[in-house]
A and B are shown apart, each in its own frame.
Chain A
Amino acid sequence: DAKTTQPTSMDCAEGRAANLPCNHSTISGNEYVYWYRQIHSQGPQYIIHGLKNNETNEMASLIITEDRKSSTLILPHATLRDTAVYYCIVRFPSNDYKLSFGAGTTVTVRA
């Protein structure tokens, strides 16, 4: 069962930052927040994960609120190739082997 809530869809202008919100109000202290994306007809692509601290890698930044009840994925300079479904998932890896995907957010980057 998905433990997250994400907007169904959002648009973003090419070259601008895309901020994708995710609510996970029932997250427990040991659960990580993972972000994946899926471009049409491809397998899900891992983006980033975090536990308590904000994280940044070459693809994106993950901002987790202090109470850990929500997070935001930031794509700093969206391109047309970032058009995809983005999934926010919470999971305690020591207890739960599977990833539970919800409906995700369909992000459309427009030129």
Chain B
Amino acid sequence: DGGITQSPKYLFRKEGQNVTLSCEQNLNHDAMYWYRQDPGQGLRLIYYSQIVNDFQKGDIAEGYSVSREKKESFPLTVTSAQKNPTAFYLCASSSPRGAGGGADTQYFGPGTRLTVL
């Protein structure tokens, strides 16, 4: 089945540790995104990538890093520099760019719930 997978589902991190969240898609989508969701707030964009080997910062990139070495994979590292990393992290992908480019309908993975101990 085609879809987006994220792992792990739950992650616990000690302060000062870096952790990496996995996101894989087999939808043949060019664009991939990482969002963070906090209670009572809308999703906020961390990083996005519209093509392999290229990515851009979103609205809240500080303390995070990404890579896009393969079309299918877009891992997110939460570094120790991220002051308040406890949140629900969602990865998404969108269909190939049409005329005019840019974001299209986005499909989400099941998310990773990160808790800092």
A and B interact physically:
no
